Amino acid sequence: MKKTHLLFVLVAALVLMGVTPLVADTFTYAYASTNGDGVTASVYLADSVLSPGVDLITSGYIDINNGTGGGFTTGQIDLYLSPSPTGALQYSPSGYFIYDNVLTPGADPVIDNGGLLFADAGVEINLFSNGPGSYQLYQNNGYNDTGNMTATPEPASMLLLGTAFFLAAGLLRRHLLVG
Protein backbone atom coordinates (compact mmCIF):
# COMPACT_ATOMS: atom_id res chain seq x y z
CA MET A 1 0.00 0.00 0.00
CA LYS A 2 2.83 2.40 0.82
CA LYS A 3 4.42 1.92 -2.59
CA THR A 4 1.14 2.84 -4.29
CA HIS A 5 0.99 6.08 -2.27
CA LEU A 6 4.51 6.97 -3.33
CA LEU A 7 3.71 6.05 -6.94
CA PHE A 8 0.59 8.22 -6.81
CA VAL A 9 2.58 11.20 -5.47
CA LEU A 10 5.23 10.79 -8.18
CA VAL A 11 2.62 10.56 -10.96
CA ALA A 12 0.79 13.61 -9.58
CA ALA A 13 4.06 15.57 -9.47
CA LEU A 14 4.88 14.65 -13.07
CA VAL A 15 1.39 15.67 -14.22
CA LEU A 16 1.70 19.01 -12.41
CA MET A 17 5.13 19.60 -13.92
CA GLY A 18 3.67 18.98 -17.38
CA VAL A 19 0.69 21.29 -16.82
CA THR A 20 2.56 24.16 -15.14
CA PRO A 21 4.06 25.70 -18.32
CA LEU A 22 0.59 25.91 -19.89
CA VAL A 23 -0.83 28.33 -17.33
CA ALA A 24 -0.07 32.01 -17.06
CA ASP A 25 2.94 32.92 -14.98
CA THR A 26 3.74 36.15 -13.25
CA PHE A 27 7.21 37.65 -13.10
CA THR A 28 8.71 40.42 -11.02
CA TYR A 29 12.04 41.94 -12.00
CA ALA A 30 14.10 44.73 -10.49
CA TYR A 31 15.88 47.03 -12.96
CA ALA A 32 18.88 49.05 -11.76
CA SER A 33 20.88 51.58 -13.73
CA THR A 34 24.56 50.80 -14.31
CA ASN A 35 25.56 54.27 -15.48
CA GLY A 36 25.39 56.00 -12.09
CA ASP A 37 22.25 58.12 -12.38
CA GLY A 38 20.26 55.96 -9.94
CA VAL A 39 17.33 55.01 -12.17
CA THR A 40 15.50 52.00 -10.75
CA ALA A 41 12.34 50.26 -11.83
CA SER A 42 10.14 47.38 -10.79
CA VAL A 43 8.73 45.38 -13.68
CA TYR A 44 5.61 43.26 -13.07
CA LEU A 45 4.50 40.96 -15.87
CA ALA A 46 1.96 38.21 -16.63
CA ASP A 47 2.03 36.07 -19.73
CA SER A 48 0.64 33.45 -22.00
CA VAL A 49 2.97 30.80 -23.37
CA LEU A 50 3.99 31.10 -27.05
CA SER A 51 6.19 28.01 -26.96
CA PRO A 52 8.07 26.19 -24.19
CA GLY A 53 10.33 28.74 -22.51
CA VAL A 54 9.10 31.72 -24.59
CA ASP A 55 6.27 33.88 -23.27
CA LEU A 56 4.11 36.59 -24.82
CA ILE A 57 3.58 39.17 -22.08
CA THR A 58 -0.13 40.02 -21.90
CA SER A 59 -0.30 42.38 -18.92
CA GLY A 60 1.91 44.20 -16.49
CA TYR A 61 3.48 47.54 -15.71
CA ILE A 62 6.75 49.26 -14.98
CA ASP A 63 7.20 51.52 -11.95
CA ILE A 64 10.09 53.96 -12.49
CA ASN A 65 12.07 55.93 -9.92
CA ASN A 66 14.55 58.42 -11.41
CA GLY A 67 17.03 58.49 -8.54
CA THR A 68 19.43 61.43 -8.79
CA GLY A 69 19.71 62.10 -12.49
CA GLY A 70 17.16 60.29 -14.61
CA GLY A 71 15.02 61.97 -17.24
CA PHE A 72 12.23 59.40 -17.31
CA THR A 73 8.58 59.98 -16.57
CA THR A 74 8.27 58.46 -13.10
CA GLY A 75 5.58 56.27 -11.63
CA GLN A 76 3.59 53.36 -12.94
CA ILE A 77 3.13 52.91 -16.68
CA ASP A 78 1.09 49.97 -18.00
CA LEU A 79 2.21 47.47 -20.60
CA TYR A 80 0.94 48.32 -24.08
CA LEU A 81 -0.65 45.16 -25.44
CA SER A 82 0.64 43.74 -28.68
CA PRO A 83 -2.11 43.21 -31.25
CA SER A 84 -0.18 40.15 -32.48
CA PRO A 85 -0.99 36.84 -30.75
CA THR A 86 2.24 35.40 -32.18
CA GLY A 87 4.68 38.00 -30.85
CA ALA A 88 5.36 39.53 -34.27
CA LEU A 89 7.12 42.91 -34.30
CA GLN A 90 4.79 45.93 -34.14
CA TYR A 91 5.26 49.70 -34.24
CA SER A 92 4.39 51.65 -31.10
CA PRO A 93 1.48 54.14 -31.37
CA SER A 94 3.91 57.06 -31.92
CA GLY A 95 6.03 55.02 -34.34
CA TYR A 96 9.09 55.68 -32.13
CA PHE A 97 9.64 52.03 -31.18
CA ILE A 98 9.31 48.53 -32.56
CA TYR A 99 8.22 46.01 -29.94
CA ASP A 100 6.90 42.46 -29.57
CA ASN A 101 6.37 41.94 -25.80
CA VAL A 102 8.20 38.58 -25.89
CA LEU A 103 10.17 37.36 -22.86
CA THR A 104 12.25 34.27 -22.17
CA PRO A 105 11.93 34.14 -18.38
CA GLY A 106 14.59 33.16 -15.89
CA ALA A 107 16.98 34.57 -13.32
CA ASP A 108 18.56 36.53 -16.17
CA PRO A 109 15.54 37.13 -18.40
CA VAL A 110 15.97 37.50 -22.12
CA ILE A 111 14.02 40.30 -23.72
CA ASP A 112 14.76 40.37 -27.44
CA ASN A 113 15.55 43.47 -29.51
CA GLY A 114 11.83 44.19 -29.99
CA GLY A 115 11.42 44.50 -26.25
CA LEU A 116 8.51 45.31 -24.00
CA LEU A 117 6.48 48.47 -24.58
CA PHE A 118 4.91 50.42 -21.73
CA ALA A 119 2.67 53.34 -22.72
CA ASP A 120 0.28 55.84 -21.14
CA ALA A 121 -0.97 59.30 -22.16
CA GLY A 122 1.62 59.82 -24.91
CA VAL A 123 4.53 58.46 -22.85
CA GLU A 124 6.16 55.35 -24.30
CA ILE A 125 8.95 53.37 -22.67
CA ASN A 126 10.68 50.44 -24.37
CA LEU A 127 12.68 47.91 -22.34
CA PHE A 128 14.90 45.54 -24.30
CA SER A 129 18.06 43.47 -23.98
CA ASN A 130 21.45 44.48 -25.39
CA GLY A 131 22.86 41.04 -24.66
CA PRO A 132 23.31 38.76 -21.68
CA GLY A 133 22.78 40.74 -18.47
CA SER A 134 22.48 44.14 -20.18
CA TYR A 135 19.21 46.01 -20.67
CA GLN A 136 18.24 49.31 -22.23
CA LEU A 137 15.37 51.51 -21.10
CA TYR A 138 14.28 54.12 -23.69
CA GLN A 139 11.57 56.75 -23.45
CA ASN A 140 10.07 58.48 -26.48
CA ASN A 141 11.38 61.83 -25.15
CA GLY A 142 14.87 60.61 -26.14
CA TYR A 143 16.05 59.73 -22.64
CA ASN A 144 17.69 56.31 -22.26
CA ASP A 145 19.45 54.28 -19.62
CA THR A 146 21.52 51.09 -19.48
CA GLY A 147 21.10 48.70 -16.58
CA ASN A 148 20.63 45.17 -15.39
CA MET A 149 17.60 43.20 -14.26
CA THR A 150 17.29 40.51 -11.64
CA ALA A 151 14.38 38.21 -10.97
CA THR A 152 12.52 38.73 -7.71
CA PRO A 153 10.87 35.55 -6.39
CA GLU A 154 7.12 35.77 -6.26
CA PRO A 155 5.22 34.61 -3.16
CA ALA A 156 3.22 31.91 -5.02
CA SER A 157 6.40 30.21 -6.25
CA MET A 158 7.91 30.32 -2.79
CA LEU A 159 4.72 28.82 -1.32
CA LEU A 160 4.77 26.02 -3.90
CA LEU A 161 8.43 25.32 -3.21
CA GLY A 162 7.83 25.28 0.56
CA THR A 163 4.91 22.89 0.15
CA ALA A 164 7.06 20.54 -1.91
CA PHE A 165 9.78 20.56 0.78
CA PHE A 166 7.25 19.76 3.53
CA LEU A 167 5.76 16.94 1.44
CA ALA A 168 9.22 15.48 0.78
CA ALA A 169 10.17 15.78 4.46
CA GLY A 170 6.93 14.05 5.49
CA LEU A 171 7.48 11.19 3.06
CA LEU A 172 11.08 10.80 4.19
CA ARG A 173 10.06 10.83 7.86
CA ARG A 174 7.37 8.24 7.25
CA HIS A 175 9.83 6.07 5.31
CA LEU A 176 12.44 6.30 8.09
CA LEU A 177 9.90 5.48 10.84
CA VAL A 178 8.58 2.44 8.97
CA GLY A 179 12.02 1.25 7.82
Sign, CA dihedral 165-168-170-172, equals negative
* In-domain check, residue 98: yes
**Per the structure, how many domains does the chain have?**
1
* In-domain check, residue 168: no
* In-domain check, residue 88: yes
Cα–Cα distances in angstroms (integers) from residue 80 to residues 45, 52, 57, 96, 135, in the given order? 12, 23, 10, 14, 19
Residue 139, domain extent:
47-154
Render pLDDT for 90-139 as a digit per residue (tens, 0 to 9).
Answer: 999 999 999 999 988 776 778 888 899 999 999 999 999 887 778 999 99
Nearest to 63 by CA among 82, 78, 81, 46: 78
DSSP assignment string, 155-166: HHHHHHHHHHHH
* In-domain check, residue 21: no
* In-domain check, residue 74: yes
* In-domain check, residue 95: yes
* In-domain check, residue 77: yes
* In-domain check, residue 94: yes
- pTM value surpassing 0.75: no
